[in-house]
Amino acid sequence: MIGPNPEVARTVQQIIEFVGTFTFAISGIRMAAAKHFDWFGGFVCGFVVAIGGGTIRDVMLGATPFWMTSTIYVICSVIALLVYILFAKSLNRLENVWLIFDTLGLALFTIAGIQKTLQFDYPFWVAIVMGCITGAAGGIIRDVLLNKEPIVFQKDIYAMASVAGGLVYWLMMTLGINVGLTAIATFLVICIIRFVAVKFHISLPTLRNEQ
């Protein structure tokens, strides 16, 4: 397999993590607002969503959690809080705004998780698992904080969209395609799968407890 240029991959990863932090933080803050949390509670919820999956990934990889190496991730979460405070009415008028931001965060952090795992020279199947953890675990923590059933365990296609994106990333890297194009294609695949699944109510079969 032809690997991506390390410097290019690192730059792409940083950009993805910055944007992903903002979108996931907005998602968490939006749902905290629905539960009538105060500003601090909203920030905590947004920040946990933004850094939760990446923190678990980095601990499993034996790396310093990414948000501890730069203040930009805290700043991104603060900006997300301010944006929501200032434009809450406009954002809430948008139908399914939480779905949009949550899906964007899922796609972006899935890619970031895959790229970082590959930098540690793990096999690609591990990178796909880590991408899924990076993208989905923050949402699980958010839902637990909000006393909600985690969306990843419901019938909606969520984590499987992340896995599908990881497989696309693996295929394109195997073919030696540019890491930037690979990241864009992976992002689009995850978003399309998630949006189509929600729009047309496509889901995985549920487990049945029949005696």
Residue 90 CA to residue 100 CA, distance in Å, equals 14
DSSP assignment, residue 203? Answer: B
Q: What percent of the chain has pLDDT over 90?
A: 55
Residue pointed to by tokens 């690609």? 124
pLDDT surpassing 60 at residue 187:
yes
Residue 112 CA to residue 206 CA, distance in Å, equals 30
**Cβ(128)–Cβ(142) under 8 Å?**
no
Check residue 155 and give its pLDDT.
Answer: 63
Residue 1 binned pLDDT confidence (cut-offs 50, 70, 90): very low
Whole-structure pTM value: 0.87
Residue 91 binned pLDDT confidence (cut-offs 50, 70, 90): confident
Residue 76 CA to residue 187 CA, distance in Å, equals 20
Q: Which pair of structure tokens corresponds to residue 51?
A: 């850094």
pLDDT surpassing 60 at residue 3:
no
Check residue 203 and give its pLDDT.
Answer: 85
**Cβ(143)–Cβ(184) under 8 Å?**
no
Residue 124 has a CB neighbour count (10 Å cut-off) of 18
Residue pointed to by tokens 């905590």? 44
Residue 118 CA to residue 10 CA, distance in Å, equals 11
Tell me which of 206 and 112 has the higher pLDDT. Answer: 112
Q: Among candidates 75, 98, 88, 107, which has minimal Cα distance to 27?
A: 98
Mean pLDDT, residues 77-87 taken together = 94
Lowest pLDDT segment from 75-79, 81-85, 102-106:
102-106
Mean pLDDT score across all residues of the chain = 88
Residue pointed to by tokens 């699944």? 197
